[in-house]
Structure 1
């Protein structure tokens, strides 16, 4: 059945005639076949495919079963909803497998269409489901090096096994093995959360790993729980002791059950991992490995007992987001010797992950791998920007047998690897780099006629991959790697195009909420290490990110879950305002904006409270809109009134009698216009002033906060040509300048490497000069939403790409550009190509959605679709020309090719 369905989809996607509706991509809580689902009322999503135009769902019927017995049927629901439909049946049971399918009616077929079956498996819904005990090593630990503890237990199974599911978590990171085989393909589990309040566990189907005689073996490492964390190099932030909690639930074919748990019967010891820290790397001595310890029959008589602890289980939660996994593999681009005589491998891509190496040497030989993002201007290995992070892995060989080596509990940000002590000649086939990041689906694509901009898009994607490892980090090479809130709030919309970051950010937002202070204040990074509080543009992630997820995924539940935290944050600011003006507290300003070097013109300083007030007003507006969506009418009215007062306070404090901002900076105008802080009558004047400031410098001077909306603001007020000039600029500062210097990810600073190849000397260099910082990659949002023109309607009926906007803005030196996005409804794509005096626009709209396509002409007679005048095509509805001289066309699903004749760029 699955092969037949795959063939049908393949034929459809290849453009073959296929006019029957099919149902694909069944998701439960946005995941395929999730294990250990901790949601009591999961939501179901499906996609429809049909190559006919204007196909919409008219009704659906969901059926949920347990062991082939129906437990809930929605009945036939007259609705076009196919995304995140809530289960409304009886209470789900813990540790239970359920299956579901859906029947769909549409507007073109008489008979309904039946989907295949999807499954999901629940986790533990109540604390008492846990029978396991927390166990810790029973030996006296080396408190300096903290080698990884090992745990093991043997047991027998005498009956035929129907199913076996392993529930496991730890204080620290774990890797589990059954009968010598690794359990699952996830790394750095149980992940990083606000551990005292939220500790994730994972569930694995291990039925196929069990035999008659069985052994469970588990390794632990310090990880985030007690390892070195943050630029202050804190240790033991969550606790000093590592611990394991494991429960194996076995169901036999005869209906009986058995539970294997961590308890006093387990044994503990140490092994080959003598040291492991996230920032510093890992040390492995293969001579110390206890050969066969994860298999049955191993003699553990000299192993120590374990200690049973009474650690809380109240904070245990099922894992909601995608796990960190191995992805792309990079072979060496070249292996060379630096001027200093160092043996270095260039993998050609700055990535986050680890090196996998094949080696054969003598016993006791030590191999050291050092990791770096860049070389210095002389071509030597450069690690000064890693600060105190050593980023080194050591391996001591056991014998002369060929061995495959890679770390277990650490990772690095690198393009270059320096290798010391490798036995013999290092050849390309001996070594490779493996990328690690949270395993979210790749959803977007972008390409254009501009080679450097295409590389820019690649840099955006790799910056996101490298920094979306368990949490949205700021960098992944130095002693930081923290979940900075400011970075993700400016990048979140861009991130939704490249990858499906829905569950990833829902999980992270739960930790933001958990870390929120009782008075509503938000830390600057989450999970928090007692970070700075309520910094404008950073703390506002608590409103901006949930709202972004609602707009892009149509997720109303995230607004409901986060509303209390959003409101508490706004109120925490409100209580320290003076006459509705937020002019108190500290701020990071527009972080890392352009700073003039000698001989360059200095940008004007932006009054810090222009930034604080603009963000305050924006969060109020989001809160008011959220209240409207959730039906909290009283709150909505209150915050709409507060928003008016906040904007009036801005006018009074920061707009002079001429109608200009008191700070004549690009940052001030970019933020004020983006957040609608300037009266309607003065907006165009402000936009003109912004353009004048850009032309005055010839480039932007903005930082983390104001760069992200800059091109959007320019396009909104009719200056798309200026936005293109900024995008295409190749000199410092610009988005393309790092590309011209060979960057394969985004830099933290505009001048991370200077034109002469050296690193800037001004403080705080080199301590803060990351070459993999994703925030400035937010220009990708403009490339998708304005340049190519794919966007979602922000009305309640249109969010999540239920109604799609296609409004391309051709410009600059580009002759073509294209982008696509896999939404929950299916693939959306848009491309434009300039061919002489013709603009060719190709659009794909998925089934069960509608779209409005804006074409740049005032004369509908100049437009054809598939070589026919659009007025003759019944599936296209022509609307009135807009103020920006574009004709909107309303369409349903399908593939369209429009030609605008007589087009002039």
Structure 2
């Protein structure tokens, strides 16, 4: 008679204190290339009881570096690049893997192994590489086997483990992964003991990084120089995977890039990142599978050289990799260009939400730039469930800010740049606090986007200290006039009228931008403080907002509604952030519409203004101007990259010029989501799904049709349930709307004629 397997206990049944008895281990110096190569750390364990008596098996593990665990040669997890990237000095995530079935499949003994690589820990990160957390990697783990009779056997990392070399001879996030399958592992050697501060260990808080799908080759291109390039039809993030047979010593080289230039691989935007993988075959007649899981690339195109015999494109696939965030928002309309724009936004988020919300996934950067996600957070929270992902990142932001000697939100989180030489201030008498608008405001704006989307009060409470740190750093930066008009600012970064070599040279006055941003941040911090019961904080930040608004109006706004620097960004911020009294609001909105028209409805905003310009127009009655701005195809515009074949959002409005050449600026990416923040307006205004209360506990359905789009439909999987909208506004005929409201909620439906209808759960037609 066979006894049914006992159910596995909950994964959190074992506390992190089980790791207290473990030692962090690494490859010994006696092993060849102990610092640079990928090494296998392993231990074979005799089971205390028969494997069939295992009730549960749980692996807790983490690393300085990235690791891949296995039991008896079988992967212990489908996740990759564990433990991801956090502020390692204070928040090192521990992963929990249920390996019960793998352990039960063992005989009298099992072998636990971890392949350990440098990852972000020893990644030579930064603009020019060369910046690391440390030179030596380390692995820390505990395998906890619980038998049916309640007995527990624990296997810890310690000096009894051994290390060997692997086929991976070189790996780098920027440069790629190289393998020589002819390489012998050699005799195992005792591991060296390393250091991991147990005080930094935390439970896994951010989603694991996983493979999501694979894409086939869409086209094989033979270039004028005779190169073979594979086109996967979509700019994505991940790597190539294939199985190949060939003679021993055959070297296959894979180079990756996002675009072609002059018919060849366009690698100049990668700067110093080689983004190149290499495989030297062992000659195994059964075939050899290659998948470089210790690195990742941003690419649409891959150049392949050295392939043995005729290359069969069906043999190679592109694997899409990012953090395990799930799609929650969908949009489709009568306008193919807008549909592609939304698709580009979705794919840019997918590619850049890998461990942290990065600026770009391809060049020698890939950092968690705060300004990008500050601009994009609302869009991100519609397209995917990013609650855990961005909450974890905000905790990293607060940790980095608290550790910063000057107490300001760093430009990137985690702040790898702090290990670089910091440029000296040009004017030592300028007491710049280090705080920057938009970038630093990520501490507040990202939290606001999460509160709006998910309504999680516990998360808001945990995020509030980061808001306080940011606002206190800004208070120190204010001039005697109460304005935020001194010190370094990125300003309206990447204004399309700026030189490609001077991305900060925007039309918008930096003091206007920064002061407006402060008011928005102080207001939400006051609201957050009120919600979590911090009454003193609520008063403090509301008073700061009120004082700053008064100073803003006095210094920057004329009685005719004109705002200093008279450009689209300053009007957009003043209107969208509700900084103006009603009489001036109307005047400023009229001037904004004039400015937009004078630019021929081509975009004239950068990072600061772009998320808000269509909002400022449509919310003040200038709907047609907002639609014309959205649907413009000339350069610069949202649809210009679409017309050039873009499949992700570009960093610059003109990352590729009309003649097909790459923008001459040193900083040029083709996968950079910030300027795709207009998608938030598309979802809320064009489609019409809006939150009327945090977490969509109350819903507002208010589509605002405009010229150029005859119908739209879409859905949002909110925490309250799925919300669906479909509307049609034909040139000849009445407007019609269908919407579905989830159980347990109510919605206000506002039709284009201004009538309002209160509805409950279910489907409704108007």
TM-score range, shorter chain: over 0.9
Q: Deviations over 1:683-733 (max 9, x none)?
A: 110011111111111122100110111111111100111111011111111
* Equivalence map 1:360-509=2 (5 Å): 360-376=245-261, 378-401=262-285, 402-509=287-394
TM-score when normalising by structure 1? 0.79
Residue 342 of structure 1 corresponds to: 227
Secondary structure, counterpart of 1:708 in structure 2: coil
**Matching of residue 789 in structure 1 with residue 691 in structure 2:** no
Structure 2 residue corresponding to 1:152, chosen from 25, 38, 42? 42
| Native 8 Å contact 1:136 1:241 kept in 2 | yes
| Native 8 Å contact 2:9 2:56 kept in 1 | no
Secondary structure, counterpart of 1:559 in structure 2: helix
Residue 666 of structure 1 corresponds to: 568
Q: Deviations over 1:653-695 (max 9, x none)?
A: 2123544212111111111222222233201100111111111
Give the Cα separation in 1 of the matches to 2:551 and 2:77: 56
**Matching of residue 560 in structure 1 with residue 445 in structure 2:** no
Structure 2 residue corresponding to 1:583, chosen from 485, 501, 519? 485
Alignment CA distance shift 1:408-1:694 (3 Å): same
Give the Cα separation in 2 of the matches to 1:745 and 1:240: 35
Alignment CA distance shift 1:754-1:561 (3 Å): same
Secondary structure, counterpart of 1:564 in structure 2: helix
Give the Cα separation in 2 of the matches to 1:606 and 1:514: 32
Alignment CA distance shift 1:596-1:133 (3 Å): closer
CA RMSD of aligned residues (A): 1.8
Alignment CA distance shift 1:135-1:414 (3 Å): same
* Equivalence map 1:298-309=2 (5 Å): 302-309=187-194
Give the deviation of 1:582 after TM superposition: 1.2
Give the Cα separation in 2 of the matches to 1:232 and 1:897: 57
Secondary structure, counterpart of 1:574 in structure 2: helix
Secondary structure, counterpart of 1:176 in structure 2: strand
Residue 747 of structure 2 corresponds to: 851
**Matching of residue 592 in structure 1 with residue 494 in structure 2:** yes
Give the Cα separation in 1 of the matches to 2:145 and 2:498: 66
Secondary structure, counterpart of 2:211 in structure 1: strand
**Matching of residue 131 in structure 1 with residue 21 in structure 2:** yes
Give the Cα separation in 1 of the matches to 2:506 and 2:305: 49
Give the Cα separation in 2 of the matches to 1:848 and 1:676: 32
| Native 8 Å contact 2:705 2:752 kept in 1 | no
Give the deviation of 1:444 after TM superposition: 0.9
Q: Deviations over 1:16-39 (max 9, x none)?
A: xxxxxxxxxxxxxxxxxxxxxxxx
* Equivalence map 1:261-280=2 (5 Å): 261-280=156-175
| Native 8 Å contact 1:173 1:223 kept in 2 | yes
Give the Cα separation in 2 of the matches to 1:628 and 1:823: 25
Alignment CA distance shift 1:890-1:249 (3 Å): same
| Native 8 Å contact 2:27 2:39 kept in 1 | yes
Secondary structure, counterpart of 2:460 in structure 1: helix
Tell which structure's C-alpha radius of gyration is larger.
Answer: 1
Alignment CA distance shift 1:123-1:606 (3 Å): farther
Structure 2 residue corresponding to 1:169, chosen from 37, 62, 81? 62
Residue 738 of structure 1 corresponds to: 641
Structure 2: any 5+ residue segments left out of the alignment? 1-5, 423-433
Q: Deviations over 1:830-885 (max 9, x none)?
A: 1111243211101010001111110122xxxxxxxxxxxxxxxxxxxxxxxxxxxx
Alignment CA distance shift 1:270-1:619 (3 Å): same
Secondary structure, counterpart of 1:828 in structure 2: strand
Q: Deviations over 1:326-352 (max 9, x none)?
A: 112111111121111111101100000
Structure 2 residue corresponding to 1:689, chosen from 579, 582, 591? 591
Residue 395 of structure 2 corresponds to: 510
Secondary structure, counterpart of 2:174 in structure 1: coil
Residue 428 of structure 2 corresponds to: none
Give the Cα separation in 1 of the matches to 2:163 and 2:498: 59
Count of aligned pairs = 731
| Native 8 Å contact 1:187 1:325 kept in 2 | yes
Give the deviation of 1:124 after TM superposition: 2.4
Residue 430 of structure 2 corresponds to: none
Q: Deviations over 1:374-427 (max 9, x none)?
A: 001x21111000000000000000014212211020010000000110001111
Structure 1 stretch displaced more, 656-665 or 837-846: 656-665
Give the Cα separation in 2 of the matches to 1:468 and 1:508: 11
Structure 2 residue corresponding to 1:772, chosen from 650, 664, 671? 671
| Native 8 Å contact 1:729 1:735 kept in 2 | yes
Residue 121 of structure 2 corresponds to: 225
| Native 8 Å contact 1:359 1:404 kept in 2 | yes
Alignment CA distance shift 1:407-1:781 (3 Å): same
Secondary structure, counterpart of 1:479 in structure 2: coil
| Native 8 Å contact 1:604 1:664 kept in 2 | no
| Native 8 Å contact 2:27 2:34 kept in 1 | no
Structure 1: any 5+ residue segments left out of the alignment? 1-66, 69-95, 99-119, 291-299, 858-885, 899-905
| Native 8 Å contact 2:54 2:100 kept in 1 | yes
| Native 8 Å contact 1:173 1:189 kept in 2 | yes
Give the deviation of 1:184 after TM superposition: 0.6
Q: Deviations over 1:504-527 (max 9, x none)?
A: 001111100110036531001100
| Native 8 Å contact 1:148 1:220 kept in 2 | yes
| Native 8 Å contact 2:333 2:339 kept in 1 | yes
Structure 1 stretch displaced more, 385-394 or 522-531: 522-531
Q: Deviations over 1:107-160 (max 9, x none)?
A: xxxxxxxxxxxxx635525x4653211112123365698111111110121231
| Native 8 Å contact 2:561 2:591 kept in 1 | no
Alignment CA distance shift 1:709-1:123 (3 Å): farther
Give the Cα separation in 2 of the matches to 1:144 and 1:679: 66
Give the Cα separation in 2 of the matches to 1:340 and 1:661: 54
Secondary structure, counterpart of 1:663 in structure 2: coil
TM-score when normalising by structure 2? 0.93
Give the Cα separation in 2 of the matches to 1:404 and 1:148: 18
| Native 8 Å contact 1:519 1:568 kept in 2 | no
